[in-house]
Structure 1
Amino acid sequence: MAKPATLTLELLQENFVICRLSPSSSLPSWAFNGPFVSITKSSDELSIITIDNNQLPKEIQCERNWKCFKLIGPFPFDLTGILTSVLNPLAKAEVGILAISTFDTDYVLIKDINLQTGIDVLKQNGHTINV
């Protein structure tokens, strides 16, 4: 079995929020802030991940206090094991995650309360963390 990939991850400094809106909602202007925004629409919901500037409308259902790691890429689409090398150690340490993939790379969000554990576990597994 091949050794898991060792990667460099950049910890984005902002705090992030994950919001759930109705699938029929239009895209709000507050969604487009910060160095990372993810918008996903399904038949059940419109999910928005953006920086938490504490200025979101009160009626929006949100999950706050997330930190975001950017895996330094880009990675070819046929390269396997990238996310696994990050997610498996976090799962073994019982650190919950939210993973998002883009054309070039992947992002992994973890709750702020688990940040130091996450950093320690990833470093112990050979990854480099740029903070």
Structure 2
Amino acid sequence: MSKQTLQLHSTILSIHSLDIDADIPAALLKLPLFFISKTHDELSIVCPSSFELHSLDTESDWQALEVIGPLGFSLTGIMANISGVLAKAQISIFSISTYDTDYILVKKQTAAQAITALKKDGYNVVTN
């Protein structure tokens, strides 16, 4: 199986931790790119850093590498392989999966290093 193509998004993202009962701002839902996850223990939102969101804690300066999809549910090992390449390069990630594809977030200052490591391992990485 050939290696996937990834696209680096230029939008700088922040990862927010919110109170479990926090309201989700309606304006967030109009953004072109955001992710919301909630469990019985936490509420997390990933959105552009330019969006003002009051949260308990924030990790900023992330960029998303999107695995160009759609990816079938029968495919295996995609995230394991990509995260393994980045782990060998000592690059921390934050991963997000959607119905159609996966996103690997890397710190903005490590994006070039991540791209180099992925290309060296045979992945095609495009930037926008």
Contact 2:19 2:56 in 1 (8 A): no
1:19 is aligned to: 16
Amino acid at match of 2:109: I
Matched, 1:80 2:80: no
Secondary structure of 1:85's counterpart equals helix
Question: Is residue 3 of structure 2 the alignment partner of residue 6 of structure 1?
Answer: yes
Unaligned runs of 5+ in 1: none
Unaligned runs of 5+ in 2: none
Aligned-pair CA distance for 1:28: 1.8
Structure 1 residue 33: Cα displacement: 5.3
The corresponding residue for 1:89 is 85
Question: CA RMSD of the aligned region, Å?
Answer: 1.7
1:118 maps onto 2:114 in alignment = yes
Contact 1:6 1:85 in 2 (8 A): no
Specify the alignment match of 1:64 in structure 2.
60
Q: What letter corresponds to residue 38 of structure 2 in structure 1?
A: K
From 108, 111, 119, give the equivalent of 2:104.
Answer: 108
Percentage of pairs with the same residue: 34
Partner of 2:52: 55
Contact 2:11 2:48 in 1 (8 A): yes
Q: 1:124–1:35: structure 2 CA closer, same or farther, 3 Å change rule? A: farther
- 1:45-83: CA deviation from partner (whole Å, max 9, x where unpaired): 1100011106333x5421100000110011111111111
Matches within 5 A, 1:34-53: 34-53=31-50
TM-score, normalisation: structure 1:
0.89
1:36 Cα offset (Å): 2.1
CA distance in 2, matches of 1:112, 1:83: 20
After TM superposition, give the deviation of residue 16 of structure 1 in Å. 0.2
